[in-house]
Structure 1
Amino acid sequence: MPQMSRQDPLIENHTVDYVPLAERHGKARDLFTLWFSTNIAPLPIVTGAMVAQVFHLNLVWGLLAIALGHLLGGIVIALASAQGPRMGIPQMVQSRGQFGRYGALLIVFFAALIYIGFFISNIVLAGKSIVGIVPAVPVPASILIGALSATAIGVIGYRFIHSLNRIGTWVMGSALLAGFIYIFAHDLPADFLTRGGFNAAGWLATVSLGVIWQISFSPYTSDYSRYLPADIGITRPFIATYLGATLGTILSFAFGLVAALATPEGTEAMVAVKQATGWLGPILMVLFLLNIISHNALNLYGAVLSIITSIQTFASHWTPSIKVRVVLSGVVLAGCCLVALGASADFISQFIGLILALLLVLVPWASINLIDFYVIKRGVYDIASIFRADGGVYGRFNLHAIVAYFIGIIVQLPFANTSLYVGPWANLVDGADLSWLVGLVVTCPLYYCLATRQHTQKVRAARLGYTD
C-alpha cells in the first residue's frame, strides 16, 4: 500500500464530497478499534447499572439481556458501516439516493439535532467529570475545556479520530479489564448473585435498550468507513464494526451492572464504580473523562457534516472547503457552549430523554437505508446523481421512501414509551419501549413493496415504449 502520510494534510481535506479511490486508505480493523473504544465510557456504564437498579434483574439474567440486545442491534450499525467503502460519501449524503435530493433534508435535520444534543450532553458531563477530579476548576471553565478539546479532535478529522481510538482500545480495554479483576478479587456482597431476579418487563426493556443503543449510531457509521479502499468488500467492514460495537458496549454495560451489584443497593452508578474499584477508581475516572472528550469529537464531526450536507443541498455546485468545516465547527462549539453553560442540574437526563424520543425517526430511516442498499440496489448507486442539482436518477423527492418513512414513524407512536410521549399501548410490557420493533417490522416490507412496485412499473413502461 503506498505511503501517503507525508503528503496528507494534518486537517482532513474532504467534507461531504466523494473520496476518490486514489485517496482511500486504512484497514477494516480500524473500525473495530473505533467502535470498541468509543463505547467504553461513563454513559453506557451508567446505563448498564440501570439493569439492576431500575429493571431489577440479577447478574445472570441481566448479562443475557445485555448481550442479546446489543448483538441484535449491532447488525444494523454494522450493515450501515459496511456501506462506506462502496459509497465513499457520508451516510447522510447517501440518503439522497433513497429519499431524493430534497427528500433527505428532514433526515439530515434530525441527525444533526441528535449529534448536537449528544455533544451538549457530553460537554456538560465532561465538565462535571473535570470538577470531580480537580474541584478547584470552576464548572464553566471545565465545560469549556471539555468542549474545546473535543472540537480540536473533530476539526482535525478522520485520521486523528481513528488514531486516538486505536490507542484508546488498548488503554480503555485494559482499564476496564483491571476494573473487573479488582471487583472480583475483593469481597462481594452476600446478595451479589441473588439481588434482583427475572421479570419479563425488565428483561425485554434491557434487550430493547441494547437494540436502540446500537441503532442510534447508524446515521454516521459510514462517515468513518468511507475512506477505506473500495475493494475491501462488505464482509470485513461488517465483522470489524459488529465486533467492536457489540463487545465495547456489552463490556461497558456489564461493568455498570457488576459495579451496581458490588455496592449497597441504591448507590449512584458512578459512585458505585469508584467504591467498587478502590484505588483504581480515580484512574478510571480520568480515563473515562478522556474518552468522553474523544467520543464527543464524533458528535461534533457528524453534526458539522450534516449541516454542510443541508447547505450543499441548495448549492449543488459548491464544494465545501476545509475552512468551511473549521468555521462551522467553531459556530457549533459556541452555540453548544452557551446552552451547556446555562444548563440546569438535570439537563443531561432531560436532553437524553429528548434524544431517545428522536430515535423514533431513526428506526424507519435505518429500515429504508438497509433494504434499499442491500436488497433493492445491491450497493450500486450513481454517485454523480447524488450530487446533481435535480437529484439525477433519484430525483428531488422519492415519494415511495418518504411515504414509507412517515408510516414507519406513525406506527411506532402507539407503542412509544419516552419522556416526551407515552403511547396508549406503551405498557403492553411494562417499562419496555418496543416501538422500534414495530417500526422495523412495518417499514422494511412496506418500503420493499413500494420500491419494487415502482421498478416494475418502469420496466413495463419501457417494454410498452419499445413495442410501440
Structure 2
Amino acid sequence: MPDQPVVEKHTIGYVPPEDRHGKVRDLFTLWFGTNIAPLPVVTGAAGVTVFGLDLFWCVVAIVVGHLVGGVFMALHSAQGPQMGIPQMIQSRGQFGSYGALIVVVIAAVMYLAFFASNIVLAGQSLHGIAEPIPVGAGIVIGALGSGLIAVIGYKVIHSLNKVATWVLGIAIVLGTVAIFVAGVPAGFWTQGEYTTAGFLATVSLGALWQIAFAPYVSDYSRYLPASVGVKATFTATYLGCTLGSILPFTFGAIVALAMTPGVEVMTGVRDTTGAFGTPLLVLFLLSVISHNALNLYGTVLSIITCVQTFVASWIPTARSRVVLSLVVMAASTYFAIGVSSNFISYFVDIVLALLVVLVPWTAINLIDFYLIHRGNYDLDSIFAADGGIYGRFNGQAILAYVIGILVQIPFMATPLYTGPVADKLNGADLSWILGLVVTAPVYYLLTRGRTLAPSEMALASHA
C-alpha cells in the first residue's frame, strides 16, 4: 500500500480502493477516545443536577440510553466502507440532490454548536489550569489546535485517538478512584431519588448523545476497505462509542454528587479528584482540542456538500477544505467567546431542537440503506447535477420525514416548546422514540415497491 499523504486529499468525493487503509479496530479507539472529554462529563452530571436522580438510577439510565442510541449510530458507521463517501452526501440517495440539503444544513449547524461548546470548555479548562489565562484566550488556543488537526484530516484524527483511548481511559478511572479514596461527602449515597420523569429524561440524554453522531459517523469509516463488512464495522463502532460515553457520563454524575453545590462541573473535577485534578484538566484540554476537530471537519464537509449540489462538476481539493476550515474556525471562535458565560444552555437548546429534525432522517437513511437499496447505490447519480436516478427531490422521503417530525411534537421537551405528553412527564423528552418508530415503517411502506433502476440492478447483481 502506498504511503498516505500527510494532509488528507479527499473531501466529499468517492474514496477509491487504492486509497482505503486502516483496520476496523481503529473505529473502536476513534470513538472511545473521542468521548472521554469534558462535554460528556458535564452532560452526564445533568442526570443528578438537572433531573434529580440518585447515583444508582442515574447510572442505570446512562447505560440504557447509550446502549439503545448506540445501535443507530453504529448502523450508520457500517455504511462507510460499503459506500466510500461521506454520510451527508449519501443522503441524496434517499432525499434527492436538493431534498438532502434540508438535512445537510441542519447537521452543519449542529456540528457548529458542538464545536463552539467544546472550545468554550477548552477555554474554561485552560483557565482552571492557569488562572492568569483568560477564558477567551483559552478559547482561541483550543480553536487553533482543533483547526490544525482538522486541516490535516482523517489520518491524524485516528492516530491521536489511539493514544487518547489508553491515556484518557486510564486517567478517568484513576480520577474516579481518587474521589472515593479521598472520601465522599455526607449524603453522597442518599442525595437524589428515582423519578420516572428523571429516569426517562436521562435515558433520552444518553440515546440522543449517540444519535447526534449519526450524520457524520460514516465519514470516518469510509476509508476502510469494503471487505471489512457491515458486522465488524458495526461492532467496533458500537463498543467504542457506547463504552467511551458511559464512562465519562458516569464520572460526571459522581463528580456532581461529590462536589460543592453551585460550582461548575469542571471545577468540581479539579476539586474532588485531589492530586489527579490538575492532570485531569490538562488531559481534558488536550482531549477537547483533539476530538473537536471532528466537529470542524464535519461542518466543512457539509458546507462543501451544499455548494457541490449547485456546482456538480466541483469536487474540491484539500486546499478548498483548508480554506473553509479556517473561515469556519474563525467565525465559531467569535461566537464562542460571546456565549462563553452561558454556553451550556445555548448548547442544550440548539442540540435538542436540531435532534427533533435529525431523528426522522436517521430512520429514513437506515431503512433505505439496509432494507430498500441494501447498500447498492448509483454513485454517478449521487454526484449528478440533477440527482440522476434519485432526482432533485424524493417526495416519498420528504413526506415520511415531515410525518416523523409532526408525531414528535406532543412528546417534545425543548426550551422553545414542551408538548402536552412531555409536560405530564415533568419534562421528559421521548420525542426521539416516536420519531424513530413512526418514521421507519412509514418510509418503508411508501418505498418498498420501488423498483431499482438499471444501474442499481447492475450494482446489486455484483454485490
Structure 1 residues 250 and 344 mapped into 2: Cα distance closer, same or farther (>3 Å)? Answer: closer
CA distance in 2, matches of 1:39, 1:324: 29
- Which amino acid in 2 is paired with 1:258? I
Quick check: 276-285 or 338-347, which moved more? 338-347
Q: Percent identity?
A: 59
Give the aligned partner of residue 466 of structure 1: none
Matches within 5 A, 1:206-355: 206-343=202-339, 345-355=341-351
Deviations 1:284-309 (A, max 9, x none): 01111111111210010000000000
- 2:31 — aligned with what? 35
- Contact 1:55 1:206 (C-alpha < 8 Å) held by counterparts: yes
Check whether the contact 1:116–1:303 (CA below 8 A) recurs between aligned residues: yes
- Aligned partner of 1:80: which letter? H
Among 3, 7, 12, the alignment partner of 1:11 is: 7
Deviation at 1:340, TM superposition (A): 2.4
Aligned to 1:103: 99
1:191 and 2:168 aligned: no
- The one-letter code of the counterpart of 1:313 is T
Counterpart among 53, 57, 77 of residue 57 in structure 1: 53
Where in structure 2 are the equivalents of 1:407-418 lying within 5 Å? 407-418=403-414
CA distance in 2, matches of 1:65, 1:316: 46
Which residue of the other structure, out of 59, 63, 74, is the alignment partner of 1:67? Answer: 63
Over 3 Å counting, the alpha-carbon distance change for 1:201 and 1:138 in structure 2 is closer
- Of stretches 371-380 and 262-271 in structure 1, the one that deviates more from structure 2 is 262-271
Distance in 2 (CA, whole Å) between partners of 1:348 and 1:107 is 24
Using the alignment, how far apart are the partners of 2:251 and 2:364 within structure 1? Answer: 34
1:83 equivalent in structure 2: 79
Alignment of 1:76-155 (within 5 A): 76-155=72-151
Are positions 1:371 and 2:331 aligned together?
Answer: no
Q: Which moved more, 1:179-188 or 1:10-19?
A: 179-188
SS at match of 2:287: helix
How much has 1:368 moved relative to structure 2?
A: 0.3
Instruction: Return the alpha-carbon distance in structure 2 between the equivalents of residues 378 and 362 of structure 1.
Output: 22
Question: Quick one: which of 14, 17, 20 aligns to 1:21?
Answer: 17
* Inter-partner Cα distance in structure 2 for 1:296 and 1:264: 29
**Structure 2 CA distance for aligned equivalents of residues 115 and 52 of structure 1:** 26
Q: What is the TM-score of this pair, normalised by structure 2?
A: 0.95
Q: 1:260·1:267 contact (CA, 8 Å) conserved in 2?
A: no
SS of alignment partner, residue 233 of structure 1: helix
Partner deviation per Cα, 1:309-355 (whole Å, 9 max, x = no partner): 00011111112011100111111112112222333621342233122
Distance 1:18 1:301, change over 3 A: same
Distance 2:80 2:174 in 1: 35
- What is the one-letter code of the residue matched to 1:188? V
1:391-443 alpha-carbon deviations (Å, 9 max, x no partner): 12211111100111111111112221111222233223113101111111110
Q: Does 1:396 align with 2:375?
A: no
Q: Say which is worse superposed, 247-256 or 428-437, in terms of deviation.
A: 428-437
**What TM-score do you get using the length of structure 1 for normalisation?**
0.94
Whether contact under 8 Å (1:124, 1:348) holds in the other structure is: no
Structure 2: which amino acid aligns with 1:293? Answer: I
Deviations 1:34-63 (A, max 9, x none): 111111111111121221222222222111
Structure 1: segments with no counterpart, 5+ residues = 460-468
Per the alignment, in what secondary structure is the counterpart of residue 384 of structure 1? helix
Report 1:352-363 matches (<5 A): 352-363=348-359
In structure 2, what is the equivalent of residue 172 of structure 1? 168
* Secondary structure in 2 matching 1:342: helix
* 1:265 Cα deviation after fit: 5.0
What is the letter of the counterpart of residue 386 of structure 1? I
8 Å contact kept, 2:146–2:293: yes
Partner of 1:465: none
- Give the root-mean-square deviation of aligned CA atoms: 1.7
Q: What is the one-letter code of the residue matched to 2:165? A: T
CA distance in 2, matches of 1:46, 1:347: 12
User: Separation in 1 of the partners of 2:264 and 2:116?
Assistant: 22
SS at match of 2:238: helix
What is the aligned partner in structure 2 of residue 441 from structure 1? 437
Q: Structure 1 residues 443-452 or 328-337, which shifts more?
A: 328-337
Aligned equivalents of 2:127, 2:268: Cα separation in 1: 18
Question: Residue 267 of structure 1: CA displacement?
Answer: 4.8
Change (3 A) 1:428 1:454: farther
Equivalent residues of 1:109, 1:306 under 8 A apart: yes
Q: After alignment, is 380-389 or 131-140 more displaced?
A: 131-140
In 1: Cα distance, 2:371 partner to 2:101 partner: 23
Preserved contact between residue 53 and residue 265 of structure 1 (Cα < 8 Å): no
Are 2:64 and 1:46 equivalent residues in the alignment? no
How far apart, CA to CA, are the structure 2 residues paired with 1:120 and 1:47?
15
Cα shift at 1:31:
0.7
